[in-house]
Structure 1
Amino acid sequence: MRKAIALAAIAAATCLTSPALAQDGKVQVKVLATAVLPDGEIDKVKIDEIGLPSTLQTEANDNVVPTVAIEYFFTPEISLETICCVTQHDVDATAGVPGAELVSDAKLIPATFTLKYHLNAGGISPYIGAGPAYFIWVDEKPGAAAVDLGADRLKMSDELGLALQAGIDVPVNDSFIVSLDAKRYFIGTTATWYAAGTKVIETDHNVDPWVLSAGVGFRF
C-alpha cells in the first residue's frame, strides 16, 4: 500500500509538467505489476460426506503477478480494455481446522472486458469502467488436508461475473504513461472434492477479489 501511495504521488507530480497524452492513438498497451487479493470464504456447504466442522471457514491466499492490458479507444473518452494474466492460489481453513490446506495451486485466468470512460482532465486521465468477467480455473488440486481425508480430485467451476474498475493514466510524453488501476470483481465458484469418483464435499465460495495494478503504458 505504501508503494502504491508513493507511486501515485510521483505520478501526480509528473503530470504537472507532462503534456497531455496524444489523442490520435487508438491502441494502448500497459505492462503492470498486479496484486490479486481474493476472498475465498465459504458461502454454502452443499455436500458433506465426511463430517466437516460446522465452524469451517476458508480464505484464499494473495498473489502478485505480471499483467498485460490491451485497450482500444473508440473516442478519446471511450475505450474497451481486456487483460491477460494467470494467478495461482491456495485455499486454507481459517476456522474449524485452522491452517488446513483444502485447495492447492489452483490457477485462475480472469478473462475480463471493461468498457471505460476517461475524464481527460488536462494532463491526466482518470477513468472508470465496468464489464463482464469469466473466471477459468485450471490445474486445481486437493490440498494436503483434503488428501488426508481421502480426496483424490478437485474441480472448481468456471463462472461469469462482473468487474468494476477505476484508475488514472498520467502522461510522461505523448505516447508513454504511468498508470494506477483498481478492479473489484463480484464472482464465485463451486468447489467439488472427489474420492474414487464420488463427490464427498461440495462448497460454494465467494472469490470476489480486489485486483490492484501499477505500471507503464504505451499508446500508438
Structure 2
Amino acid sequence: MKKSLITLAVLSTLSFGSLAAGYQAGDILVRGGATMVDPDSDKAGVYIEALGGDTPLSVSVDDNTQLGLNFVYFFDSNWAVELLAATPFKHDVKIHDPQGIAEGVFGVPGLDVDGITLGEVTHLPPTLSAIYYFDSASKFKPYVGAGLNYTIFFDEEFKSAPKSLGFNDLELDGSFGVSFQVGADYELDDNWHINASIRYIDIGTDADFKIGEDIKGTAEVDVDPMVYSLMIGYKF
C-alpha cells in the first residue's frame, strides 16, 4: 500500500511537471489554418480635384478569408518571436454615392453607382511580433503580443462596369503600421496544439485613380482590420 502511494505521488509530480514546463528555449511552432481580415467598417472619403476637393463619394473595403501561416521561435519559456504570413488576401472595393453626384460627373442621366463594386485589390500583410506567454500549469497557454506590419498592395484593378465609365490607373501605396494581439494555444499532446488569436493591425493607404485622362481622384483608406485566426500547430 505504502509503495503504491509513493508510486502515485511520483507519477503525479512528473505529470504536473510536464504540464508546467510548457514551451522551452529553442522550441519552434509551425501553424496553419483560416485567417480572416475584417477591415474597419468606416468609409473613406474621395477627393477629386475637378470637383473642388472633397466629395460626397466614399469607398469601403470588404472582408476576406485565406490560408494563414504562423511561425514562432521561443527564446525562453515566456518570450518568443512570431511571423504571420498568409496566401494573398483579395478585397472588393465598393463606392458609395448617397447624393447621386455621379450623374453629373459622367454626364449620364439616371446613373446610379451607389454600392457597386468599384474594383478589386490584393495584398499581403506580413507581421513580425514579440509575444509573451503567461506561466501556465495547464494545457491552455495564453499570450499577448505586439509587433510591426508591412502591407503590400498589388493587382489593383477596376471592374468592367467602372472601366466603361472611364475609371483607370488604380494604385494603392504600401503601408507600415503596428499590430497588437491576444491569443492562446491548447495542447492536444506533446507536439500538436490548436491556436486561436485576435489581432488589430494599423493599415492605412492612399488609393489614387483617374476618371478619363484628366480627372484625378484619391482616397485615404484606413483599412485598420481586425484579424481572426484559427489554426492547428506543431511543435518542433
Q: Which category of TM-score, normalised to the shorter sequence, fits these structures?
A: 0.7 to 0.9
Q: What SS does structure 2 have at the residue aligned with 1:173?
A: coil
Q: What SS does structure 2 have at the residue aligned with 1:49?
A: helix
Question: How far 1:144 moved relative to its partner?
Answer: 4.2
Q: What SS does structure 1 have at the residue aligned with 2:163?
A: helix
Note if contact 2:45-2:54 (Cα within 8 Å) is conserved in structure 1: no
Residue 76 of structure 2 is matched in structure 1 by: 75
Q: What SS does structure 1 have at the residue aligned with 2:70?
A: strand
> What per-residue deviation string (whole Å, max 9, x for no partner) do you get for residues 153-186 of structure 1?
2100101011111001111111111111111111
Q: For structure 2, list consecutive stretches of 5 or more residues without a partner in the other structure.
A: 1-17, 99-112
Indicate yes or no: 2:124 matched with 1:109.
yes
Structure 2 Cα separation of the partners of residues 149 and 50 of structure 1: 17
Structure 1 residues 214 and 189, CA gap change in structure 2 (3 angstroms): same
- Residue 137 of structure 2: which of 118, 122, 126 is its match? 122
Question: How far 1:147 moved relative to its partner?
Answer: 1.7
Structure richer in helix, relative to its length: 2
| Percent of paired sites with the same residue | 29
Q: Which has the larger radius of gyration?
A: 2
Residue 158 of structure 1 is matched in structure 2 by: 174
Taking structure 2 as the reference length, the TM-score comes to 0.77
Taking structure 1 as the reference length, the TM-score comes to 0.82
Q: For structure 1, list consecutive stretches of 5 or more residues without a partner in the other structure.
A: 1-17
Note if contact 1:40-1:58 (Cα within 8 Å) is conserved in structure 2: no
Structure 2 Cα separation of the partners of residues 131 and 22 of structure 1: 21
Partner letter of residue 188 of structure 2? Answer: V
Indicate yes or no: 2:231 matched with 1:215.
yes
Structure 2 Cα separation of the partners of residues 45 and 192 of structure 1: 10
Indicate yes or no: 2:38 matched with 1:37.
yes
Residue 6 of structure 1 is matched in structure 2 by: none
Q: Bigger shift: 39-48 or 151-160?
A: 39-48
Say how many residue pairs are matched. 202
Q: Bigger shift: 46-55 or 79-88?
A: 46-55
